[in-house]
Amino acid sequence: MQEKIIFINDLKVNYKISALGPMILILHGWGGSSDSWLKVQEILAKNGFQVIVPDFPGFGKSETPLIPWGIKEYTDFVLDFVNCLNIDNFFLLGHSFGGRIAIRFTALHPEKVKKLILSNSAGIKAKPGLKIFFIFILAKIGNALFTPKILARFKNSARNFFYFFLRHKDYVKANETMRESIKKILEEDLLPDLSKIKTKTLILWGQKDKLVPVKFAKIFKEKVENSQLIIFPKIGHSPHLEIPEKLSQTILEFLKTN
């Protein structure tokens, strides 16, 4: 296993690369890094694959962009990354936020992706329900409450507490640039992209996923034409951390079949 640095558009990007053989590019989730995929990377490498896992800009040991990025910028980053490493044709795996980018990348550059694997992928906007309505009302009240100058200085602290209360911990932990990135990314619905994907696709999901419920896995299966769905019982949002051996074996079986 080697850890390397590459500069892409003046941003320092860290990535891990292992072994030789058919190439697998893994895109980690929001708040994760190449470290979170280390066990899976080692197993796949031992089975004859070259595995590359970059730290997305803003995560791990990679530098944070100077301005907020959305799905377009992160997708462009993946294209620049594979071009810089002279990678032309590879297997692509995306988890959660990484799944968003893998979806858009495959829709735009199908010639580069041999097979696609989506693990607990984000990307589909949920229909507004009572919780979203409740959040909207509280946000309106909060904006009105903190408008007076004497209270304005407390607005950011109150917003952080509000997001923490709602378990949006990624928002609370992020710096200002990455907070704006979260907003940009969540605004875009990738549902229309799914029908554009003709690449053979494996959809993996934890049955107990509370962040991206399993009902979304079934939408992915319905919309992605050439796909199969495997649901792991009693597993949550991160199969790569909860059951790395089982996940790796499932991936290997998919990659080695025609």
Domain with CATH 3.40.50.1820 in the chain: 2-125+189-255
Q: Quote the pLDDT of residue 87.
A: 93
Cα–Cα separations (whole angstroms), residue 23 to 67, 90, 115, 140, 209: 31, 5, 11, 49, 28
In DSSP terms, which residues pair with 91 in a beta bridge? 24
Query: Residue 6 class from Cβ within 10 Å (0-12 exposed, 13-18 middle, 19+ buried)?
Result: middle
One-letter amino acid at 253 equals: E
Contact by Cβ (8 Å): 112, 90: yes
Q: Quote the pLDDT of residue 2.
A: 96
Sites in the chain below the pLDDT cut of 70: 128-174
Q: Quote the pLDDT of residue 3.
A: 97
pTM: 0.85
Q: Quote the pLDDT of residue 175.
A: 72
Q: Quote the pLDDT of residue 169.
A: 47
Q: Quote the pLDDT of residue 174.
A: 57
Q: Supply the CATH classification number for the domain 2-125+189-255.
A: 3.40.50.1820
Q: Quote the pLDDT of residue 224.
A: 98
Q: Quote the pLDDT of residue 76.
A: 98
Cα–Cα separations (whole angstroms), residue 71 to 100, 105, 123, 179, 221: 8, 10, 10, 14, 22
Q: Quote the pLDDT of residue 123.
A: 96
